[in-house]
Structure 1
Amino acid sequence: MTADPSTHQLRLLLVLAEELHFGRAAKRLFISQPAFSRQIRTLEERLGVALLKRSTRRVELTPAGEALLPHVRAVVDAVDGLHGAVKAQARPGQDRVVLGSYVSGLPALRILLDRLRREHSCPEVELRAVGPVDQVSALLNGDADAVICYGPMPEGIRTLPLGTEPRLVCLPDNHPLADREAVTLAELAGLPVVGFPPQASTEWRDFWAVDPRPDGTPVRYTEQTGATLEACISLVGLGHGIRFISESGRDLMPRPGVRFIAVTDLPPCTALFAWPASRPASQALTSLLGALRSHLRTAGEVRHPTSDKSWWNTP
């Protein structure tokens, strides 16, 4: 064994053992199938043993895989127990929610949480920066109790819709379309989209790249990839491609060298409060969900605290 396996790789193996299908397992965890397969092969290399029998039709555990599966599950359970113990020790006697959000949305999120505390019974919340590509793994690994995100989200993740908002296209400021108030998807045809990291799922990538376009044309991606909003906007400003973002991204991340343009025929995105279905919701999480639901009933969609727009973190 050349290196210790990661807990993430062990979790992937447990899901694959349940699904016995790489595509379904990858979709369930909201990562791309090639990235999933690479992680499993790395796990086999690190353990020094073949865990799976692969064929064009099915996947089976090898005898070694079957024998090791209980130990894998025990390790994952132990790590989950450790995370729980650490959380309990971090603030003894206080129940809290670890809430992940993309870093650009954290200032506005704090304002909303302060409002919820004033208007409703709301537990203590620890904010944690979570990137849009890592938000699902943060939930499944127990690094966050819930996340504020944009869909789509995979099966196994429960969601509370918070509101919708338009998606805009981010263009270099020297592009011929940059001075327009609005454009159509047809006018953006042929422009490459800044690439997505390999761990991004196909469904998530397709939604945020609008791939394929309404006429069935596939999208061309750049070799450069951006996993964060900051990285994507920087690449757009350097002329490497375009990216679609939520309207909040324009308000939260203004940058020189780029323009944010409305796209008249682009469907909106939905802001979500998301948490894993595989774990029972804690009393604190249940309390926070109750406060959010009560706020939504009385105020409608969650609005940006400093403007008249819906908001949350942006891919």
Structure 2
Amino acid sequence: MKSGDDPTGHQLRLLLVLAEELHFGRAANRLYLTQPALSQQIRSLEQRLGVQLFTRTSRQVELTKHGQELLPYVKDAVDAGHALRHAAHRAAAGSGKLRLGVCESFGALPVTRKVIAAVTAQHPELGPEVHVADDVVEQFAMLSEGEIDAAFVHLPAPEGMHDQVLTTEPRLACVAVSDPLAARDVVSLAELSHHLIVSLVSEEFPVRRGFWSGDPWPDGTTVRYSDQQVTRFETLLSTVSLGGAIAFVPASAATLYPRPDVRYLPVEDLQECAYGVVWHSADHDKPKILALAEVSRQVQDV
């Protein structure tokens, strides 16, 4: 193992979950990751350690001999990391701070700022502390690991999460400027149905994935997905810009992510989307969450 290539605690936690499940789909579901993202992290971990940890076939995943030998050390390292994080979380909980996750430019949405401002004004003891995540996948992982108490996201949320809707907005079709439809002022789902769809959502979350891909099309046919696996919004836009695939995005993206290589088109028969704040359903009676829920109801614009 080269100096500077130490495995991260996050990668070690991924290894343990995969070692328990021995199935990339189930492990990714538990971790709020896409399968490609999990596979990439495991490959990176194997490269950093200099050993193969798993054997993979189309039918099964198994720990190698080296993986079995290293597993007890990985568990010790993860347990130590958990103890450290739990101590830090207890300290944070003791301080009463509300830890909110926001993602990329969507933190600039007026309703997000209204919630943060209202919490600050009405509950100064809560802070809040705002944590910026690179993407929605990271936000859900932070929620799962207790690093944040709640997150601002476009809905629907994964199972086990409670959501408080803050506002609704249209969904737009994002197409490459080279697409013949880019010259149109408005399109229909039927006119888009021959396109592949680029999705940020893993197939492990079928309700959320189906909503953000428009699946099925109005005639009942199933959406066909692009082979590109993306987790960041900017990557999604770049993939669309190359042509051959489209994406459905919130209308606010047209303002937050203006680009010369894509066009945002209204879709006459596409359902609106909701934006809100989410937290673990089991946390519904925590004082911090009760305060957040009340503030969210006060400022909601629906």
TM-score of Structure 1 vs Structure 2, range by shorter chain: 0.7 to 0.9
Say whether the 8 Å CA contact 2:96–2:125 is kept in structure 1: no
The aligned runs of 1:109-258 (5 Å cut-off) are 109-118=112-121, 123-130=126-133, 131-155=135-159, 158-163=161-166, 164-171=168-175, 176-178=180-182, 180=184, 182-193=186-197, 195=198, 201-202=202-203, 203=205, 207-210=211-214, 213-214=217-218, 215-219=220-224, 221=226, 227-230=231-234, 232-233=236-237, 241-254=245-258
Letter in 1 for 2:13: R
Letter in 1 for 2:270: L
Letter in 1 for 2:106: G
2:99 match: 98
Distance in 2 of aligned mates of 1:173 and 1:55: 40
Distance in 1 of aligned mates of 2:29 and 2:155: 14
Distance in 2 of aligned mates of 1:92 and 1:22: 33
Distance in 1 of aligned mates of 2:230 and 2:37: 16
Matched, 1:79 2:81: yes
Larger % of helix: which? 2
Q: Under a length normalisation based on structure 2, what TM-score does the superposition of the two structures give?
A: 0.72
Q: CA RMSD in A?
A: 4.1
Say whether the 8 Å CA contact 1:172–1:236 is kept in structure 2: yes
Letter in 1 for 2:21: E
Distance in 2 of aligned mates of 1:241 and 1:128: 32
Q: How many residues align?
A: 292
Say whether the 8 Å CA contact 1:101–1:148 is kept in structure 2: yes
Look up the SS of the partner of 2:128 in the other structure: strand
Describe the superposition over 1:146-189 as per-residue Cα deviations: whole angstroms up to 9, x where unpaired: 3211245445x523232544321134567554465542211112
2:39 match: 37
Distance in 2 of aligned mates of 1:40 and 1:174: 37
Say whether the 8 Å CA contact 2:119–2:126 is kept in structure 1: no
Say whether the 8 Å CA contact 1:181–1:262 is kept in structure 2: yes
Of 26, 49, 53, the residue aligned with 1:24 is: 26
Decide whether aligned partners of structure 1 residues 81 and 175 sit closer, same or farther in structure 2, where only a CA change above 3 A counts: same
Q: Identity across aligned pairs (percent)? A: 39
Tell me by how many angstroms 1:40 deviates. Answer: 2.9
